[in-house]
Chain A
């Protein structure tokens, strides 16, 4: 499933909307995610860091990644 920054591709499932441009790649969210559904991308974002990405499934919408993220606008959790 491709990442979609502007909206949830599957409105019936919760999903982290990741703004890769704001991510600094600290991996706190990857470590904290209880569903282990986040990973560090292979590709560099516009800043030149490997940003976090959603593996495409497994998000429960708990918000843990959001609270662990030091950036204000890198992660938004979409909950149906």
Chain B
């Protein structure tokens, strides 16, 4: 997914080859991660797609099924991966992820600690931010979940940047080997206040911490605990409003033209009073917010380790 090896940069121009991970794009709300395998086929409502026909095509290509249906084959990015990964837990989405990376000041070379790993949605973006020489150590107390995450990072080619371990961070804290070494710590735990004292020990001076919690009661308790060793404690909520764009015909009112006319190009019925008849219709591009949106994901609480 990432060009970790500088020799392989500009990999987007690489042609699709056997064993590659591709994102099969049907629509913006319908994508799927597929590992290309010479003898395999992809079957969906558009028909049967032979992987063998994908090999040798550039990423970004449109490919056709036996029935003439088509999909696009995209190179994976952390954003696309977040949309296709299998949800073993509730995951973090793009608005929260972007904000967390920026606010934790994660840059190449950073050492980042994360718990829990969950489905690895944030972990993937953290890995991108610390690449090529930083590292993400992520911890989850659920053995199977950790294993699946490890498999995913293998599949997305990020395993050299991410170490997954099974550990109950709320109960045991982070391993002492990282004491004073972490540039940033991210917590997504049911009782983050239990892990905060350990997180403080792991961080470098002025290092950043973020705790993600869906409930305000969790935030309340976390903030009280943070007061002890942290400063600059700030809690945010970040959401996205998306827009739909349409080209629409707007009726142009023209007062001069009073007589009714039945041959209007637009579909709208004529007004009964007949005082203003739509005369010409002008086509214009219009935007409006989508009717439905995610209303809440979680509260993001950030803090910096106090300088002593």
On whether the two chains bind one another, the answer is no
Q: Which residues of B come within 8 Å of A, CB atoms?
A: none
Q: Which residues of A come within 8 Å of B, CB atoms?
A: none
